[in-house]
């Protein structure tokens, strides 16, 4: 007899077909064990919050507005909160009016709603390579054809973007939008230079494009600097997404979209279909937090904490990593992007890493096409400094040993970093198609190991 482990198989929508179990996700289950130093998550250090103040805010919301706080709200989100969020944007120099905003369940819902609003199956989206794994998830769940534009120390290479747009135009095609994380990119850790911002907007005009500007980290700049936003440069072309997850707490699931009015209206209708309205209670908590607490000082505290941890991580990398391993020195955000050099496949290495009690995210998770296997992403915002030192020491020992093993196994034919992507045959653990796309990550800011 035939045994069905999923009797609903014939009933699913086409978009569900690609969702499957993954060995990498299973390994992350081990990474969450306390004995493992995990650089894998992207978690802010919520213990740096002033919990007396948070408790006070929550208590007052319930004491003063309890019945309202626990009631439904409107799909766009509370005007009082939107007004506060306009203030957060202004703090970063991003112009907006509260009518432009839609409150979302974190930035992630903003990305998903934007994808839902624009993407038909097979539509092309141009995105940085690498790009945010959650953004990829939102896009591919709507079956977008995500194509990567390489990056360097100044962010997306906009002249390559121009070439890609030309090529598509020659075929009579146009991407639905360009997805970019301009500030302290996840995972690459670099920011889009101001001249390139102007050029990107110019290209958007030329090709009649929408830009999805994803900005979770703009305020987490170690020097306290801000850069002109794409939204400011082209408010009618940009869907801007941001979040309180890095400036307050991800647990309140509060993000927002700022979009031109026609797009905003569609987004509101889509969100009402998805979940009716943002959680009223947490909206009121965030609103009161912003209105009554020195939230800018809290952001400063996060910045200082993360800057220190980034320095600790960079020092540890410089001390312990073998030659040939390179990384960028981030000016903000939560991540360091590492190139492990020739002959090492970071996806394979993760199994060995968790057995050595250290974890990271393999680079191929940040590409839609399976490339990136000689890179990995490290998070420095969550582990405390002594754990960072310990974890980097373990990782460096592992990479040193893996390098020796690769030399012993490959002999004179150690595959070059970009070719690791092509070296694995199909039918290996991951079903992702491989490409040979070599990624030149921030070579300009990459620091070679000192030893």
Partner 1 sequence: MSAATTRTEGLHVAVLNGGSSLEREVSLASGSRVTTALESKGHRVTRLDVDAGLVTHLDDLDVDVAFLALHGSTGEDGTIQSLLDLVGIPHTGPNGLSSALAWDKPVAQGLYRRAGLVVPDHVVLSQAAFRDLGAAAAVSRVGDLLGFPLVVKPAAGGSSLGLTIVGDPAHLPSAIMGAFSYNDRVLIEQFVPGPEVAVTLVDGGTLPPVEISPRDGPYDFSARYTPGATEFHAPSRLSDAANAAAEDAARRACDALGAHHIARVDMILADNETPTILEVDTGPGLTATSLVPLAAQAAGLAFPDLCHRLVELALARAGRDEPAA
Q: What does the CA dihedral 111, 195, 330, 38 come to, rounded to 10 degrees?
A: 20
**Which of the ranges 148-156, 196-204, 324-332, 424-432 carries the binding residues for partner 1, by CB under 8 A?**
424-432
270 cis-preceded (ω within 30 degrees of 0): no
Question: Rounded to whole angstroms, what are the CA distances from 339 to 2, 101, 312, 346, 351?
Answer: 47, 38, 19, 9, 18
Tell me how far, at minimum, the Cβ of 17 lies from partner 1, in Å.
10
Tell me how far, at minimum, the Cβ of 430 lies from partner 1, in Å.
8
- Does position 349 interact with partner 1 (CB under 8 A)? The reply is yes
Torsion-angle region of 48 (φ positive above 0: left; ψ -120 to 50: alpha; else: beta): alpha
How far is 302 from 437, CA to CA, in rounded Å? 36
Tell me how far, at minimum, the Cβ of 353 lies from partner 1, in Å.
9
Query: Which candidate, 292, 299, 313, places its Cα nearest to that of 377?
Result: 313
Nearer of residues 36 and 234 to partner 1, judged by Cβ:
36
By CB under 8 A, name the one of 78, 148, 303, 424 that touches partner 1: 424
Tell me how far, at minimum, the Cβ of 380 lies from partner 1, in Å.
24
**Is the CB of residue 371 less than 8 Å from the CB of residue 129?**
yes
**Is the CB of residue 231 less than 8 Å from the CB of residue 52?**
no
130 cis-preceded (ω within 30 degrees of 0): yes
Tell me how far, at minimum, the Cβ of 404 lies from partner 1, in Å.
7
The β-bridge relationship of strands 335-339 and 326-327 is antiparallel
- Does position 27 interact with partner 1 (CB under 8 A)? The reply is yes
By CB under 8 A, name the one of 355, 384, 436, 443 that touches partner 1: 355
- Does position 3 interact with partner 1 (CB under 8 A)? The reply is yes
- Does position 304 interact with partner 1 (CB under 8 A)? The reply is no
Question: Which residues, 6 or more positions from 259, have their beta carbon under 8 angstroms from its beta carbon?
Answer: 100, 102, 238, 239, 240, 267
**Which of the ranges 129-137, 183-191, 361-369, 411-419 carries the binding residues for partner 1, by CB under 8 A?**
411-419
- Does position 269 interact with partner 1 (CB under 8 A)? The reply is no
Tell me how far, at minimum, the Cβ of 362 lies from partner 1, in Å.
11
Torsional sign, CA 56, 57, 58, 63: positive
- Does position 13 interact with partner 1 (CB under 8 A)? The reply is no
Torsional sign, CA 291, 293, 295, 297: positive
Residue 338's SS3 state is strand
Residue reference for tokens 């200082």: 304
Q: Which helix (H) or strand (E) holds 397?
A: helix 385-410
Half-sphere exposure of 226 (CA within 13 A, CB side): 15
- Does position 14 interact with partner 1 (CB under 8 A)? The reply is no
- Does position 312 interact with partner 1 (CB under 8 A)? The reply is no
- Does position 436 interact with partner 1 (CB under 8 A)? The reply is no
- Does position 375 interact with partner 1 (CB under 8 A)? The reply is no
Tell me how far, at minimum, the Cβ of 427 lies from partner 1, in Å.
4
**Which of the ranges 216-224, 251-259, 299-307, 351-359 carries the binding residues for partner 1, by CB under 8 A?**
351-359
- Does position 435 interact with partner 1 (CB under 8 A)? The reply is no
Nearer of residues 167 and 404 to partner 1, judged by Cβ:
404
How far is 212 from 125, CA to CA, in rounded Å? 10
Tell me how far, at minimum, the Cβ of 415 lies from partner 1, in Å.
7
Tell me how far, at minimum, the Cβ of 417 lies from partner 1, in Å.
13
- Does position 408 interact with partner 1 (CB under 8 A)? The reply is yes
Which residues would be at the binding site for partner 1 (CB under 8 A)?
1-6, 8-9, 19-23, 25-27, 29-30, 33, 35-36, 343, 345, 348-352, 354-355, 404-406, 408-411, 413, 415, 420, 423-431
């Amino acid at each position: 007899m035939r045994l069905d482990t999923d009797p609903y198989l014939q009933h699913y929508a086409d978009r569900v077909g690609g969702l499957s179990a993954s060995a990498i996700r299973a390994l992350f289950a081990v990474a969450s064990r306390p004995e493992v130093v995990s650089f894998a998550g992207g978690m802010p250090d919520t213990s740096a919050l002033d919990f007396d103040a948070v408790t006070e805010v929550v208590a007052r919301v319930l004491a003063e507005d309890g019945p309202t706080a626990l009631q439904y709200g409107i799909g766009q989100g509370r005007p009082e909160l939107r007004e506060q969020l306009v203030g957060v944007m202004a703090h970063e120099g991003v112009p907006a009016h509260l009518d432009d905003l839609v409150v979302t369940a974190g930035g992630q819902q903003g990305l998903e709603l934007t994808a839902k609003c624009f993407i038909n199956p097979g539509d092309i989206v141009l995105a940085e390579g690498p790009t945010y794994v959650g953004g990829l998830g939102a896009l591919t769940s709507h079956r977008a054809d995500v194509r990567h534009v390489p990056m360097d120390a100044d962010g997306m290479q906009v002249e390559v973007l121009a070439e890609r747009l030309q090529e598509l135009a020659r075929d009579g095609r146009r991407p639905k939008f360009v997805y970019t994380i301009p500030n302290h990119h996840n995972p690459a850790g670099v920011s889009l230079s101001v001249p390139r911002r102007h050029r990107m907007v110019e290209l958007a005009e030329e090709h009649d494009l929408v830009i999805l500007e994803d900005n979770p980290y703009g305020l987490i700049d170690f020097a306290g600097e801000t850069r002109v936003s794409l939204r400011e440069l082209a408010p009618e072309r940009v869907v801007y997404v941001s979040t309180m997850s890095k400036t307050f707490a991800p647990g309140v699931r509060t993000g927002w979209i700022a979009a031109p009015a026609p797009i905003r209206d569609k987004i509101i209708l889509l969100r009402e279909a998805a979940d009716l309205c943002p959680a009223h209670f947490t909206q009121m908590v965030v609103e009161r937090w912003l209105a009554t607490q020195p939230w800018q000082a809290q952001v400063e505290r996060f910045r200082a904490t993360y800057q220190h941890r980034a320095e600790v991580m960079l020092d540890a990398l410089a001390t312990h990593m073998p030659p040939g391993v390179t990384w960028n020195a981030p000016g903000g955000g939560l991540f360091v992007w590492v190139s492990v050099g020739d002959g090492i496949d970071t996806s394979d290495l993760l199994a060995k890493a968790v057995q050595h009690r250290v974890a990271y995210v393999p680079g191929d998770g940040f590409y839609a096409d399976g490339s990136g296997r000689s890179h990995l992403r490290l998070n420095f915002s969550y582990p405390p400094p002594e754990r960072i030192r310990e974890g980097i020491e373990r990782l460096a020992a592992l990479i040193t040993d893996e390098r020796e093993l690769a030399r012993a196994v490959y002999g004179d034919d150690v595959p070059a970093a970009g070719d690791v992507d092509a070296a694995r045959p199909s039918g290996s653990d991951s079903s992702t198609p491989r490409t040979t796309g070599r990624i030149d990550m921030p070579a300009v800011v990459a620091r070679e190991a000192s030893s």
